Amino acid sequence: MSVYTDLGLKQVINASGKMTALGGSAVAAEVAEAMARAARDYVSMEDLFRKAGQKVATLIGAEAACITSGAAAGIAISIAACIAGRDLALIERLPDSGGLRNEVLLPKGHSVNFGAPLTQVIRLGGGRPVEVGQVNEVKGAHLQGAVSDRTAALLYVKSHHTVQKGIIPLEEMVRIGKEKGIPVVVDAAAEEDLRKYLDLGADLVIYSGGKAIEGPTSGFICGRKDLIEACQMQYRGVGRAMKIGKEGILGLLAALDRYLNRDRLQDAADQRKRMEWLIAGLQDIPHLEAGLTQDEAGREIYRAQIRIDEKGLGLTAKEVIKLLEGGDPAIYTRNHFVNLGIISIDPRPLLPGQEAVVLRRLHEIFAEATPPCNPRSCG
């Protein structure tokens, strides 16, 4: 039984991914213990904040790091730092940035909604978002032409939410940023490689602690020391409303240490094996095609993809999703391609043995489906 059932809530099986809407990650025992120890004691939060940032920077090999309450907070704080720097008078003005260099350029195909509009998060940090190019085509010339003396930052979003085709490579954005003396900020919230974007030359890179790292709701910004110091100063302004507690900080550090010492290739292989087992268990169901597919953003994540012949089955993919979520336990799947009749199962958040529960429930749903009548079967 789940602890949440004590509140009268249904148990949830997360086959969707490291989704904020489903609580991010289920943390490991050692991470939960670190959070519990933190909760039972006192500390100077300013000292903890500084020391934790130093530890994160050391662990990932960055110049400096700033702890945040999550990746969205990291975006707002990074933008505020690019606009106000370490000037306390300007920091206390934000998000009112009138008269300041405040434009934030981003590819139009990166202007997404991840639970809230990215453009709103930029505005929270005092930025004025400027979408560059077209949804499916942004070239260097588009970005070059949009840069002006009002440009405070260039923002690049690495996510499955964004358009993947026709968008300016980060390397080219970095080159333009260096030429123009404009910081390049990368939202890499759910990314697994904690060095890649720094090595590509980004000035600030933002990660979620509750996604790939499998920590509590938390995050961090890493990158250039002067800009990280400016990020830390934002907690005297807009960052105050985004502060993280001692429990979250200690949980993040424990999760990060665990993450960096795990064999992620073996984890990926184990997850793939679980999905292959699930796919094999679906092969005898008519009007359904199940196979393995790699993550849309190119990460080493392999999901079970279920393509439903909606006419043959007599159920649409949306109806199957509704039945899965309406059961007890409620099963949440990855539904980015539901319009194509596709449902995906993500292995990463599944707790041990839950793939068997998912398979059993799918068999129940498909067994109860009533295929549409045709002259041969109905006479």
Indicate whether 251 and 269 sit together in one domain.
no
Indicate whether 163 and 82 sit together in one domain.
yes
What does the block give as tokens for 188?
A: 């890499």
Answer whether residue 360 is part of any domain: yes
Answer whether residue 28 is part of any domain: no
Dump pLDDT digits (tens) for 19-41.
Answer: 888 888 999 999 999 999 999 99
pLDDT of amino acid 230 = 98
How far apart CA 228 and CA 197 sit, in angstroms, is 16
How far apart CA 261 and CA 239 sit, in angstroms, is 31
Indicate whether 313 and 207 sit together in one domain.
no
pLDDT of amino acid 127 = 98
pLDDT of amino acid 368 = 84
Answer whether residue 133 is part of any domain: yes
Let me know: does 138 contact 168? Beta carbons within 8 Å.
yes
Structurally, the chain folds into a number of domains equal to 2
DSSP labels, 219-277: EEEEE-HHHHHHHHHGGGTGGGGG---HHHHHHHHHHHHHHHTS-HHHHHHHHHHHHHH
Q: Residue 299: pLDDT above 80? A: no
**Who wins on pLDDT, 18 or 231?**
231
Indicate whether 144 and 218 sit together in one domain.
yes
**Who wins on pLDDT, 130 or 115?**
130
Mean pLDDT of the chain: 93
Percent of the chain with pLDDT over 70: 97
Contacts of 258 (CB under 8 A, 6+ apart): 28, 30, 31, 214
**Phi, psi angle pair for 156, to nearest 5°:** -125, 130
pTM passes above 0.95: no
- Residue finishing a domain among 193, 227, 260: 260
Indicate whether 136 and 280 sit together in one domain.
no
Answer whether residue 212 is part of any domain: yes
Per-residue confidence at 148, pLDDT binned at 50, 70, 90?
A: very high
Dump pLDDT digits (tens) for 256-274.
Answer: 999 999 887 788 889 999 9
Indicate whether 141 and 275 sit together in one domain.
no
Indicate whether 56 and 187 sit together in one domain.
yes
Give the mean pLDDT of 166-189. Answer: 97
Answer whether residue 32 is part of any domain: no
Per-residue confidence at 372, pLDDT binned at 50, 70, 90?
A: low
pLDDT of amino acid 374 = 56
Site of tokens 């994160």? 56
pLDDT of amino acid 375 = 46
Contacts of 377 (CB under 8 A, 6+ apart): 371
Indicate whether 146 and 240 sit together in one domain.
yes
Angle CA(293)–CA(299)–CA(157) in degrees, nearest 5? Answer: 120
Q: Tell me, what CATH number does 200's domain have?
A: 3.40.640.10
Contacts of 161 (CB under 8 A, 6+ apart): 112, 113, 114
Indicate whether 47 and 107 sit together in one domain.
yes
Q: Tell me, what CATH number does 369's domain have?
A: 3.90.1150.180
What does the block give as tokens for 17?
A: 């991914």
Indicate whether 176 and 284 sit together in one domain.
no
Q: Which domain does 316 fall in, by range?
A: 3-21+263-378
b/e map 99-121, b = 16+ CB within 10 Å = ebebbbbbbbbbbbebeeebbeb
Q: Residue 370: pLDDT above 50? A: yes
Residue 329: asked if its preceding bond is cis (omega within 30°), the reply is yes
Dump pLDDT digits (tens) for 180-196.
Answer: 999 999 999 999 999 99
Q: Residue 280: pLDDT above 70? A: yes
Q: Residue 339: pLDDT above 50? A: yes
HSE-up of residue 140 (Cα within 13 Å, Cβ side): 11
